[in-house]
């Protein structure tokens, strides 16, 4: 499976009953954000929304909630829409481990149909809008920003594709949030210490896998394009941009080329963030756009972000847990599963076998030094291999019974976290903790765990039998 672009994926969503076209007239604000927010409040099976009649615009189309449910995520990675979450996770892990995948370079791309390199006004070219009422402006928050290390320009593996929030602050002026823990901040620091601008390409309206890969905490020298190739099992198509030479996805709707101005910081924000809080206003870098390329009648893809859960929690859930799982398993093959679904993995739950006392705490502490853990992973909960980290009632049972704060709580001061964490103090610094909710293993002896309950003999067979009887009764009921 390999979607060649957003349009192809929207067609697949529609055929699967996972896309709603909104053809009634809507106001840009607040209707589009409100509808997208409402969609995710309806549950984890909700459809994407395609707005086709936006007041004041004549041809604009805006796609929202493209990844905003588990069926949509399953379809995005080429699985059946009813694939359970855990199966999606382990299939993702399996494909991830085939890295590096292949890339396919193409000279021409549909986004080269229209080119603007004079008098650029992004407000004329895109249906920009406000998402949350406290936002300081109109944002692009679902794009792939491509950059390279100026000192290692020809290295495609360190070329970075990341999803960063972008405030459109003027006709061709964009504020960007390169959080220090993210790879683009490394490129920017290397450019700025030489006093040079950093070329960037902002690619918007992509195939669904590119958005997933752009938000993945993979290693600095792993290529997102090769990761996309691995995940889709086919070469990933890219096309070199004209002005900067950076590689863009072949299928993008828009490609904006420009540069981050060296050593410039100016007011940006606030912006309603994935933490369910606004970011506050900060001084951040600025991009000047020099060239815009886009398809004819481009589709603008946008993402509502606010109080969890919103689209971003589906988009950045499995793709955060999978790299963590693989990176941790290299050190600890005993690890069984990793759940980093909550608030972009500020909380991480790990199930693992243990070889000796203290083992679970070591596993938990290792999370903090992974690429994801450096900026997120504030609370790590470690549970036995028999507890499914995706089953929160089971996790709560482990916390309730296996965890004794006298023995099982490890608090680490002075750790890094992204500055958007509203609990960090000062911004970007936090204590972190590991909660060891596993059964103690020798020589650790505390507690009384020798009489843990097991299900009565034959429960598994009864589950199968009762499940079949329920399905059969439902079928008969449905055929009446």
Residues in the site for other proteins, rule: CB under 8 A?
A: 27-30, 55-59, 121, 123-124, 128-130, 133-134, 136-138, 167-171, 175, 177-180, 185, 188-189, 192-195, 263, 265-268, 270, 278, 280-285, 419, 427
Which of 64, 54, 58, 53 is closest to 6 using CA atoms? 64
Closer to other proteins by CB, 2 or 125: give it: 125
CB of 281 to other proteins, least distance (A): 6
Spot the catalytic one: 273, 301, 311, 444. 273
Nearest partner of 202 among 167, 153, 234, judged by Cα: 167
Q: What share of the chain is helix, strand, coil (3-state, %, to 5)?
A: 30, 25, 45
Can you tell me the distance from the alpha carbon of 41 to that of 36, in angstroms, rounded to the nearest whole number? 9
Q: Name which of 138 and 309 has its Cβ closer to other proteins.
A: 138
Q: In terms of CB distance, is 195 or 458 closer to other proteins?
A: 195
Q: What angle do CA 94, 80, 322 make, to 5 degrees?
A: 30
Q: Distance (Å, rounded) from C-alpha 99 to C-alpha 117?
A: 37
SS3 at position 374: helix
CB 42 within 8 A of CB 72: no
| Beta carbon nearer to other proteins, 137 or 358 | 137
Nearer to other proteins, 89 or 278 (CB): 278
Nearer to other proteins, 169 or 366 (CB): 169
- State the maximum Cα–Cα separation within the chain, in Å, rounded to a whole number: 75
Q: To the nearest whole angstrom, how small is the minimum distance from the Cβ of residue 129 to other proteins?
A: 8
Q: How far is the CB of 170 from other proteins (least distance, A)?
A: 6
Distance, in Å, from the CA atom of 142 to the CA atom of 284, rounded to the nearest integer, reads 19
273 is catalytic: yes
Q: In whole angstroms, how close is the CB of 205 to other proteins at the nearest point?
A: 19
- Provide, rounded to whole angstroms, the least separation between the CB of residue 189 and other proteins: 5
CB of 282: closest distance to other proteins in angstroms? 5
* DSSP of 380-448: EEEEETTS-TT-HHHHHHHHHHT--HHHHEEEEEEEE--TT-TT-SSTTEEEEEEEEESPP-TT---S-
CA angle 428, 434, 437 (to 5 degrees): 150
Catalytic residues: 273
């Amino acid at each position: 499976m390999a979607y060649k672009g957003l349009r192809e994926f929207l067609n697949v969503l529609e055929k699967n009953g996972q896309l709603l076209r909104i053809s009634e007239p809507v106001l840009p604000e607040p209707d589009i954000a409100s509808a997208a927010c409402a969609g995710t409040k309806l549950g984890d099976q909700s459809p994407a929304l395609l707005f086709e009649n936006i007041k004041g615009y004549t041809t604009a189309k805006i796609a929202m909630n493209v990844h905003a449910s588990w069926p949509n995520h399953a379809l995005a990675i080429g699985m059946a829409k009813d694939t359970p979450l855990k199966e999606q996770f382990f299939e993702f892990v399996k494909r991830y481990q085939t890295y590096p995948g292949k890339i396919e370079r193409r000279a021409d791309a549909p986004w080269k149909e229209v080119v603007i390199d004079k008098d650029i006004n992004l407000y004329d070219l895109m249906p920009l809008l406000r998402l949350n009422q406290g936002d300081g402006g109109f944002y692009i928050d679902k794009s792939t920003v491509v950059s390279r290390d100026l000192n290692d320009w020809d290295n495609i593996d360190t070329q970075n594709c990341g999803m960063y929030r972008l405030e459109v602050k003027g006709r061709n002026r964009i504020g960007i949030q390169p959080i220090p823990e993210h790879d683009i901040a490394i490129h920017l620091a290397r450019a700025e210490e030489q006093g040079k601008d950093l070329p960037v390409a902002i690619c918007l309206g992509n195939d669904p896998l590119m958005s997933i890969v752009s938000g993945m905490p993979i290693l600095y020298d792993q290529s997102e394009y090769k990761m996309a190739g691995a995940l889709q099992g086919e070469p990933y198509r890219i096309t070199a941009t004209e002005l900067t030479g950076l590689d863009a996805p072949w299928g993008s709707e828009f490609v904006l080329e420009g540069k981050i101005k060296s050593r410039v910081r100016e007011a940006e924000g606030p912006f309603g963030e994935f933490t369910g809080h606004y970011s506050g206003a900060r001084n951040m870098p600025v991009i000047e756009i020099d060239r815009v390329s886009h398809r004819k009648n481009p589709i603008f893809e946008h993402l509502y972000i606010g109080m969890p859960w919103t689209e971003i929690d589906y988009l950045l859930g499995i793709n955060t847990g999978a790299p963590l799982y693989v990176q941790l398993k290299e050190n600890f093959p005993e690890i069984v599963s990793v759940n980093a679904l909550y608030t972009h993995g500020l909380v991480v739950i790990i199930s693992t076998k243990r070889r000796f006392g203290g083992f679970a705490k070591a596993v938990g502490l290792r999370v903090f030094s992974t690429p994801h853990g450096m900026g997120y992973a504030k609370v790590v909960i470690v549970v036995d291999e028999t507890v499914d980290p995706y089953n929160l009632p089971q996790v709560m049972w482990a916390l309730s019974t296996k965890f004794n704060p006298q023995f099982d709580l490890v608090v680490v001061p002075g750790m890094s976290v992204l500055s958007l964490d509203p609990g960090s103090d000062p911004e970007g610094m936090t204590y972190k903790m590991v909660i060891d909710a596993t059964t103690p293993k020798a020589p650790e002896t505390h507690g009384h765990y020798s009489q843990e309950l097991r299900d009565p003999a034959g429960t598994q067979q009864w589950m199968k039998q009762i499940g079949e009887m329920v399905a059969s009764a439902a079928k008969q009921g449905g055929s009446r």
